[in-house]
């Protein structure tokens, strides 16, 4: 049985937080909102609790977890560079990969000598971590491979009955996962684009680069696995300019002629037109990337639940700022970002 507490995002009921915290202290699993997506929390100092996360999610055993702290001050060993970033972006959607911290269960890092840490910007997450009195290991609270949950209902759709509790505080604000920045390499490398953009990071650390597969997939274990994907096949569509509508319509006709049910998740600029798709959902105006990001996973799940075979997704966003993170997630949902080649020495 998964216990659900419905709480106000800004003023969560202290009694609900206290109950959830006591479950965590006993080694249980509680999902909670952060500003990015819902996380599945467990006591990061307990190997048994951490193991429970991998079981509940069906997570590959080689994909390490992010540990969530209430404040940067709870991480006394941060380097000067990490402290500068923390001062600018914490609490917020930035995860830093640093050398391992002794108090944290090694199972969190899956055999790596590094640890991913962040301070989430959400009163429920903050209140829960403080009351639990321990840092919380928390991957996104979805079944492995599925889109991250941005509402409590998404968490239950994937994990009801598999976890002890859920603090449901409504939709999350950012909607995409945190940016993961590896500070154990020189220059620092973005392993996953997210809520804090490359441009934001370069204002503090101008040398920041983006890790490609060439930079070593072993440093970024999560990129090997299919991710963020609904059940239907996701087909990204480029070119929202003139002619996009006709091209989309031709694609829908071709797919339907093959007997497929076709869904479309499109920016508002395209969604209004009659395409002949079975299901069409708008993901907001391309002029407002924050809104597109916030609604992206809910949109993918909703079109998927309509029982389509294929989802055409408008991915014509600029590769800057939040656009880079949106494009990255859509490419992964479509399985367009490959793992390392076989025999490359990286499992
Ligand atoms: O916004 C977020 O980051 C959310 C919320 C709940 O905080 N969490 C999240 O966790 O997205 P998860 O587990 O779904 O993604 C963590 C990513 C994975 O790609 C994982 O491989 C990477 O961080 N990661 C974790 N530890 C790492 C490490 N030591 N070195 C390199 N990458 C690491
Ligand atoms: Mg995840």
- Arithmetic mean of pLDDT, 220-228: 60
Give yes or no for residue 180 CB within 6 A of ligand 1: yes
* Strand bridging mode 38-43 / 30-33: antiparallel
pLDDT band with cut points at 50, 70 and 90 for residue 270: confident
pLDDT tens-digit profile of 122-134?
Answer: 999 999 999 999 9
Q: What is the rounded distance in angstroms from the CA atom of residue 210 to the CA atom of residue 25?
A: 37
Point out the ligand 1 atom lying closest to the alpha carbon of residue 38: 6
Instruction: Report whether pLDDT(245) > 70.
Output: yes
- Arithmetic mean of pLDDT, 183-201: 97
Mutate to test the pocket of ligand 1, among 35, 60, 177, 196 (most ligand atoms within 8 A of CB): 177
Centre of ligand 2 to C-alpha 345, Å, is: 24
Q: What is the rounded distance in angstroms from the CA atom of residue 221 to the CA atom of residue 243?
A: 39
Point out the ligand 1 atom lying closest to the alpha carbon of residue 65: 25
pLDDT band with cut points at 50, 70 and 90 for residue 341: very low
- Both tokens assigned to 188: 């620092």
Q: What is the rounded distance in angstroms from the CA atom of residue 174 to the CA atom of residue 38?
A: 11
Lateral strand order in the sheet of 38-43:
3-6, 165-168, 30-33, 38-43, 136-137, 66-68, 114-118, 94-99, 179-182, 189-192, 209-210
According to the model, what pLDDT value does residue 225 have? 59
Give yes or no for residue 138 CB within 6 A of ligand 1: yes
pLDDT tens-digit profile of 61-78?
Answer: 999 999 999 999 999 899
Q: What is the rounded distance in angstroms from the CA atom of residue 190 to the CA atom of residue 244?
A: 32
DSSP structure class, residue 344 = S
Point out the ligand 1 atom lying closest to the alpha carbon of residue 36: 1
* Strand bridging mode 66-68 / 94-99: unpaired
Share of the chain above pLDDT 70, in %: 91
Q: Is 234 exposed, middle or buried (0-12, 13-18, 19+ CB in 10 A)?
A: buried
Give yes or no for residue 46 CB within 6 A of ligand 1: no
φ, ψ of residue 97 to 5 degrees: the values are -95, 120
Instruction: Report whether pLDDT(181) > 60.
Output: yes
Point out the ligand 1 atom lying closest to the alpha carbon of residue 59: 13
DSSP structure class, residue 341 = P
* Vertex 208: Cα angle to 202 and 210 (nearest 5): 120
Give yes or no for residue 116 CB within 6 A of ligand 1: yes
pLDDT band with cut points at 50, 70 and 90 for residue 272: confident
Q: What is the rounded distance in angstroms from the CA atom of residue 169 to the CA atom of residue 10?
A: 9
pLDDT tens-digit profile of 10-51?
Answer: 999 999 999 999 999 999 999 999 999 999 999 999 999 999
Instruction: Report whether pLDDT(84) > 70.
Output: yes
Centre of ligand 2 to C-alpha 63, Å, is: 10
Global confidence as pTM: 0.93
Centre of ligand 1 to C-alpha 16, Å, is: 27
Rg of the Cα trace of the chain? 20
Q: What is the rounded distance in angstroms from the CA atom of residue 125 to the CA atom of residue 20?
A: 11
Centre of ligand 1 to C-alpha 78, Å, is: 18
Share of the chain above pLDDT 90, in %: 80
- Both tokens assigned to 153: 């209902």
Phi-psi group of 29: left, alpha or beta (phi > 0 → left; psi -120 to 50 → alpha; rest → beta): beta
pLDDT tens-digit profile of 287-297?
Answer: 999 999 999 99
- Both tokens assigned to 269: 């600029």
Instruction: Report whether pLDDT(239) > 60.
Output: yes
Q: Is 5 exposed, middle or buried (0-12, 13-18, 19+ CB in 10 A)?
A: buried
Point out the ligand 1 atom lying closest to the alpha carbon of residue 40: 6
Centre of ligand 1 to C-alpha 270, Å, is: 33
Centre of ligand 1 to C-alpha 221, Å, is: 9
């Amino acid at each position: 049985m998964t216990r659900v507490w419905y709480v106000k995002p800004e003023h969560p009921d202290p009694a609900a937080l206290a109950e959830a915290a006591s479950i965590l202290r006993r080694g249980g699993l509680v999902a909670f909102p952060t500003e990015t997506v819902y996380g599945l929390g467990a006591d990061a100092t307990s190997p048994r609790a951490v193991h429970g996360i991998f079981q509940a999610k069906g997570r590959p055993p080689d994909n390490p977890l992010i540990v969530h702290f209430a404040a940067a001050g709870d991480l006394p060993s941060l380097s000067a560079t990490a402290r500068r970033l923390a001062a600018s972006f914490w609490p917020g959607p930035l995860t830093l990969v640093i050398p391992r911290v002794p108090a944290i269960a090694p199972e969190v890092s899956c055999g790596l000598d590094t640890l991913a840490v962040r301070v989430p910007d959400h009163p429920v997450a903050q209140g829960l971590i403080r009351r639990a009195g321990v840092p919380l290991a928390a991957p996104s609270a979805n079944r492995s491979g599925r889109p991250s949950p941005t509402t409590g209902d998404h968490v239950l759709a994937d994990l009801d009955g598999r976890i002890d509790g859920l603090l449901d505080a409504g939709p999350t604000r950012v909607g995409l996962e945190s940016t993961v920045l590896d500070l154990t390499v020189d220059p620092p490398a973005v392993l996953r684009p997210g809520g804090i953009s490359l441009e934001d990071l370069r204002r503090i650390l101008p040398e920041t680069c983006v890790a490609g597969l060439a930079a070593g997939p072993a440093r970024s274990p999560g990129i090997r696995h299919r991710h963020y994907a609904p059940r239907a096949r996701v087909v990204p569509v480029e070119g929202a300019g003139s002619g996009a509508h006709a091209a989309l319509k031709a694609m829908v006709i071709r797919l339907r002629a093959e007997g497929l049910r076709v869904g479309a998740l499109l920016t508002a600029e395209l969604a209004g037109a009659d395409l002949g798709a079975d299901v069409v959902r708008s993901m907001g105006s391309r002029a407002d990337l924050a809104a597109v990001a916030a609604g992206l996973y809910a949109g993918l799940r909703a079109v998927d639940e309509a029982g389509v075979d294929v989802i055409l997704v408008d991915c014509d966003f600029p590769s800057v700022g939040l656009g880079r993170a949106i494009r990255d997630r859509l490419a992964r949902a479509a399985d367009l970002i490959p793992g390392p080649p076989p025999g490359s020495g990286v499992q």
